[in-house]
A and B are shown apart, each in its own frame.
Chain A
Amino acid sequence: MKKRSAVLIALASLLMIGSLYVPLWDIILEAPQYPEGLSMQIWLSKLSGDVGTISGLNHYIGMKAISEEMFPEFGYMKYIVIGIIVSGLIVSALRKKWLFAAWFVAFLIISALGVYDFYLWEYDYGHNLDPRAAIKIPGMTYQPPLIGCQELLNFYACSFPSTGGWLIVVAGTTSFLVFVDELFLSKKKRENKYKPVSS
């Protein structure tokens, strides 16, 4: 593994430390009677923003109230990220290509699982609506967008990565580029390098 790659992986790992201190994801709601907007932030270990207000509004369509206690993920997500950071630093110190590759694949799978878990929660919230609710949503499902914006009744809901999420995206993209460089581009270069010698 090249020195440059090792430095980049170390930087990517260090960058993710930030995600422990800032929100990962933003959910933003707009409505005519909320000119100031409503928002909820998802952190690695908590929720913040207008959680109570959003829950209060969701009850009209029979959605369960959102509360931190319902998410066991808040108990361990932080440690998973710390694990990725620490192992990333070890990988960059040892500079073993196979170890890096394993680390990157693990990082990729964990990130995908994280997004999938988020999707499952949204599915659960959106598909278990109280049938006795005041407002009956057509089809009795309302799944908030995973990423992007969607309109429901008087609300326009948007869901996007927040600072912490972007930090992980940047770290992931950097790791991906290093991965490509190390495993595909660098090999070819080396082959090119040998060619003049052998000819």
Chain B
Amino acid sequence: MKNLISNKFSIALLLVASVLLASCGGKREKKEVTSGDAASKVYVAPGKLDEYYEFMSGGFSGQIGVYGLPSCRLLKVIPVFAVNAENGWGFTEETKPMLQSTHGFVPWDDSHHPELSMTDGSPDGRWLFINSNNTPRIARINLSTFRTEEILEIPNSGGNHSSPFATENTEYVVAGTRFSIPIEGNKDVPISSYKENFKGTITFVKVDKDKGDMDVAFQIMMPGFDFDLSHCGKGPSTGWFFFSCYNSERAHTLLEANASQNDKDFIVAVNWKLAEKYLAEGKAKDFPGEYYSNRYDDNKHMATSTIRRSTKMLYPKDCPDMIYLMPCPKSPHGADVDPTGEYIVGGGKLSTVIPVFSFTKMQAAIAAKDFIGEVDGLPILKYESVIGGEVQKPGLGPLHTEFDGKGYAYTSMFVSSEVVKWKLGTWEVVDRIPTYYSIGHLSIPGGDSKTPWPKYLVAMNKITKDRYLLTGPELNQSAQLIDISGEKMKLLNDFPTVGEPHYAQGIPADLVMKHQVKVFKLEDNTHPYACKSEKDARVERKGKAIHVYMTSIRSHFYPDNIEGVVVGDTVFFHVTNLEQDWDTPHGFAIKGSTNAELLLMPGETATLKFIPKTSDIYPFYCTDFCSALHQEMQGYLRVSPANSKVPITFSTGK
């Protein structure tokens, strides 16, 4: 008893002391935030593999970071929208077409939202899609090779943010203009004529169910809102797509204030099944819109660009019942549909509640024509008639919501820097956990699909500050792994991330592991400049172009001595990696190249274009430590003065 009292007394003293300390120092006390067993939960022993793949967008890096969960180890960076000197992406002749657009070669973009392909509303591990926000495009990555196989430009768009979310069987991935622009007629108009002249579009991109090839199926001409995020309906809401938008004020300057005036913006409900029907009925107009379709062929090891000139445009006024607007408080960000498909959660950045719309109520309100007005002919449903519930006092700055499939939702709170767990149906907050700092998106593997795997949640934070050893003023972004398997969320780990991850998608590892490609088969290589045997290696002159058909195998190039090139020639090194053994890449680099390097996987052919400017002997070598004799894997190119008559010769070992 005495002990207890003295314990209580000392605790009280401690409390007083800490309060005093806190008030004197003016600082909050830093607490230990993980519980004892966190380390063992993220420890994946050497030689053991992670349970989940986590694909995190690179944001302003333009790429995708692939992490393993729960170890949080970085497995790979997949080059997508930005050139990647490391493996020649965007530098080789084969990959340059991937970054072509109507604006020419675009070496960088801002990748935001990875989206896994789905079958029956559940991630299937075949492809990963991702949008580029700046020059509007959608990329598709093949998850058996982890390579970007396709980049499709989105026409009639000022920036692509609410994208590339997919329908339940990946029939479509969508795009929406973040920045509305003049789309029809004269585009040289005063910016101040925004309200009259600026429009938004929503685009549905058809995905081939076997090959994954994308093409623009149709576009919808929308009012000049800023489309922000989207998600497809599922279950009862199958056939619908929900887009959030801000700037219903249609402001064109100082949006931080001018686009925050309306009490409510919208979640736009699009009946895409009906849109498909209108398209089939010929309701769409042929609409000008130039765009690039860039596809990479795994057998040819080469990308080709195709320019397309027009799209099909649907106008809502010709298409009754296709679109309804649901008022959503204060500049909504996320538009997230729960696993049952009944609830659509809006995340109002400046809202004090989390509004949850009911699909059933939306249907009833549409049937009852419960409208409070319209925007450009689009009916606005009455908020009170479509709202299923509001989560009260959730925190500050709700952005995005994911689900555990057990009746709970997890919403990221940017301003109050926390994840809030709440219950669907009762709308009560049941738990909250701080994040470090200012969380943007969050991700639960399958957490936006019909089948969440509710073990881990990844918080992607916008502010890093003191989380890691300091690296000057520019810090990596930060993510946190949170255990959501129990009633209470538990922080497990903290890890820096590549670029600025906006969103991430996770999937059980076996769904991706089971169809991994380990080598490209040489017999399937149909590259026009492939050289599949050292016997066929050669150097050919075609006018001022020199084509070197070169092979690489441990540990030599064939040929490794080349003469007869003169200043003024353009040399194309077409290098084929003859290896057929797992994990035996070869590199190729030549002194003075203005085109990065080649990094060739077994069985692959790639081309480095090299324009020597002076007469010299140029060494070249293998850049990937391929074998014990890697350092010996080297050669020379002799470049003679412009008018010399040195004949073309080439050899290895002579």
Which residues from chain A sit less than 8 Å from chain B, CB to CB? 36, 50, 52-53, 56, 60, 134
- What is the CB-to-nearest-CB distance from B650 to chain A, in angstroms, rounded to a whole number? 20
Q: Choose the segment among B162-170, B350-358, B577-585 that binds chain A (4+ C-beta atoms closer than 8 Å).
A: B577-585
Q: Tell me, rounded to whole Å, the shortest Cβ–Cβ distance linking A116 to chain B.
A: 32
B581 near A36 with CB under 8 A, answer: no
Q: How far is the CA of A56 from the CA of B551 in the complex (A)?
A: 14
B553 adjacent to A56 (CB under 8 Å)? yes
What is the bound-complex CA distance between A56 and B629, given in angstroms?
A: 13
B231 within 8 A of A: no
Would B581 and A56 count as touching, CB distance under 8 A? yes
Cβ–Cβ contact A52 & B629, under 8 A: no
Candidate in B554, B555, B581, B627 with the most chain A CB atoms within 10 angstroms: B581
Report whether B580 and A53 are in contact in the complex, using a CB–CB cutoff of 8 Å: yes
On whether the beta carbons of B579 and A56 are closer than 8 Å, the reply is yes
User: How distant is B628 from chain A, measured CB to nearest CB, in Å?
Assistant: 8
Question: Which residues in B have some Cβ–Cβ distance to A below 8 Å?
Answer: 553-555, 579-582, 627-629
Q: Is the CB of A36 within 8 A of B553?
A: no
- Identify 12 residue pairs between A and B in the complex whose beta-carbon atoms are under 8 Å apart, listed by A's number: A36-B582, A50-B581, A52-B580, A52-B581, A53-B580, A53-B581, A56-B554, A56-B581, A60-B627, A60-B628, A60-B629, A134-B628
Q: How far is the CA of A72 from the CA of B188 in the complex (A)?
A: 78
Across chains A and B, which 6 residue pairs bring their CB atoms closest together, nearest first? A53-B581, A52-B580, A134-B629, A56-B554, A56-B581, A53-B580
**A-B Cβ contacts below 8 A, count:** 16
Distance of A134 Cα from B579 Cα, bound (Å): 18
How close is B15's CB to chain A, nearest CB, in angstroms?
56
What separation, in Å, do the CA atoms of A145 and B554 have in the docked complex? 26
Whole-angstrom distance between the alpha carbons of A50 and B579 in the complex?
12
Bound CA–CA A53/B584 (angstroms): 10
CB distance from A92 to the nearest CB of B (A): 45
Q: Once the chains are docked, how many angstroms separate the CA of A81 from the CA of B554?
A: 39
When distances are taken between beta carbons in the complex, the residues of chain A under 8 Å from B582 are 36
Since A56-B579, A60-B627 are in contact, a sample of 14 more A-B pairs with Cβ atoms closer than 8 Å, ordered by chain A residue number, is A36-B582, A50-B581, A52-B580, A52-B581, A53-B580, A53-B581, A56-B553, A56-B554, A56-B581, A60-B628, A60-B629, A134-B555, A134-B628, A134-B629
Q: Which residues does chain B contribute within 8 Å of A50, judged by CB atoms?
A: 581
Report chain A residues within 8 Å CB of B629: 60, 134
Cβ distance A87 to chain B, nearest Cβ, rounded Å: 40
Q: Chain A residues near B579: list those with CB within 8 A.
A: 56
Q: Given the complex of chains A and B, what is the CA–CA distance between A56 and B627 in angstroms?
A: 11
For the complex, what is the distance from the CA of A52 to the CA of B532, rounded to whole Å? 14
Q: Bound state CA distance, A52 and B579, in angstroms?
A: 9
Q: How far is the CA of A52 from the CA of B627 in the complex (A)?
A: 16
Using CB atoms, name the residue of chain B closest to A53: B581
Chain B residues with CB under 8 A of A134: 555, 628-629
Of all chain B residues, the one with the shortest Cβ separation from A51 is B580
How far apart are the CA atoms of A50 and B582 in the complex, in Å? 11
Closest to A36 in B: B582
A52 to B522, CA, bound (A): 12
* Smallest beta-carbon distance A185→chain B, Å: 54
A68 to chain B, nearest CB (A): 16
In the bound assembly, the distance between CA atoms of A134 and B555 in angstroms comes to 10
Q: Determine how close the nearest CB of chain A comes to the CB of B19; give it in whole angstroms.
A: 57
Residue of A nearest to B632 (CB): A134
State in angstroms the CA–CA spacing of A114 and B174 once bound together: 66
User: Hey, which chain A residues are within 8 Å of B627, CB to CB?
Assistant: 60
Residues of A close to B581: CB separation below 8 A:
50, 52-53, 56
Within the assembled complex, what's the spacing in Å between the Cα atoms of A56 and B554? 8
Closest beta carbon of chain A to B236's beta carbon, Å: 48
Q: Which residues of A contact B554 (CB under 8 A)?
A: 56
Chain B residues near A52: list those with CB within 8 A.
580-581
Residue of A nearest to B653 (CB): A132
Chain A residues contacting B553 (CB-CB under 8 Å) are: 56
Tell me the smallest distance from the CB of B253 to a CB of chain A, in Å.
Answer: 61
CB distance from A39 to the nearest CB of B (A): 13
A56 to B628, CA, bound (A): 13
Closest chain-A Cβ to B124's Cβ sits at a distance in Å of 26
B581 to A, closest residue via Cβ: A53
Closest B-chain residue to A50, C-beta based? Answer: B581
Please, which residue of chain A has its CB at the minimum distance from the CB of B580?
A52
B45 to chain A, nearest CB (A): 15
In the assembled complex, the CB of A71 is this many whole angstroms from the nearest CB of chain B, namely 21
Residues in A neighbouring B555, C-beta threshold 8 A? 134
**Chain B nearest CB, measured from A158 CB (Å):** 19
A123 to B629, CA, bound (A): 27
Alpha-carbon gap, A53 to B522, bound state (A): 13
Q: Which residues of B contact A60 (CB under 8 A)?
A: 627-629
B603 to chain A: closest CB distance in Å? 11
Once the chains are docked, how many angstroms separate the CA of A134 from the CA of B580?
A: 21
Q: Which residue of A lies closest to B522 (CB)?
A: A52
Complex contacts, A53 vs chain B, CB 8 Å: 580-581
Looking at the assembled complex, report how far the CB atom of B584 sits from the nearest CB atom of chain A, in whole angstroms.
9
Write the nearest CB–CB distance from A56 to chain B, whole angstroms.
Answer: 6
In angstroms, Cα B382 to Cα A76, docked, is 85
Closest to A33 in B: B583
* Closest Cβ–Cβ distance, residue B630 to chain A (whole Å): 12
- CA distance in complex: A63, B522 (Å): 23
Output the least CB separation between A180 and chain B (Å): 48
CB distance from A31 to the nearest CB of B (A): 12
**Distance in angstroms between the alpha carbons of A39 and B390 in the assembled complex:** 63
* A50 CA / B628 CA spacing, docked (Å): 20
Output the nearest chain B residue to A132 by Cβ-Cβ distance.
B653
Query: Taking the nearest CB of chain B, how far is it from the CB of A28, in angstroms?
Result: 16
Give, as a whole number of angstroms, the nearest-CB distance from B524 to chain A: 15
Nearest to A153 among chain B residues (CB) is: B628
A74 to chain B, nearest CB (A): 21
Nearest to A35 among chain B residues (CB) is B47
Most interface-central of A36, A50, A134 (chain B CB within 10 A)? A134
Cα separation A52 to B582 with both chains bound (whole Å): 12
Distance between B111 CB and nearest chain A CB, rounded to angstroms: 34
Which chain B residues lie closer than 8 Å to A56 at the CB level? 553-554, 579, 581
For the complex, give the distance between the alpha carbons of A60 and B628 in Å. 10
Instruction: State how many angstroms separate the Cβ of A157 from the closest Cβ of chain B.
Output: 17
> Which A residue's beta carbon lies closest to that of B627?
A60
- Min CB–CB distance B190 → chain A (angstroms): 66
Report how far A60 CA is from B581 CA in the complex, Å: 15
CA of A134 to CA of B627, assembled, Å: 12
B583 to chain A, nearest CB (A): 9
A51 to B204, CA, bound (A): 49
Q: How far, in whole Å, are A49 and B581 apart by their CA atoms in the complex?
A: 11
Report the Cα distance A56→B582, complex, angstroms: 13
- For the complex, what is the distance from the CA of A53 to the CA of B553, rounded to whole Å? 11
CA distance A53 to B581 in the complex (A): 6
A100 to B76, CA, bound (A): 66
Q: State A134–B629 Cα separation when bound (angstroms).
A: 8
Nearest-neighbour CB distance to chain A for B632, whole angstroms, equals 8
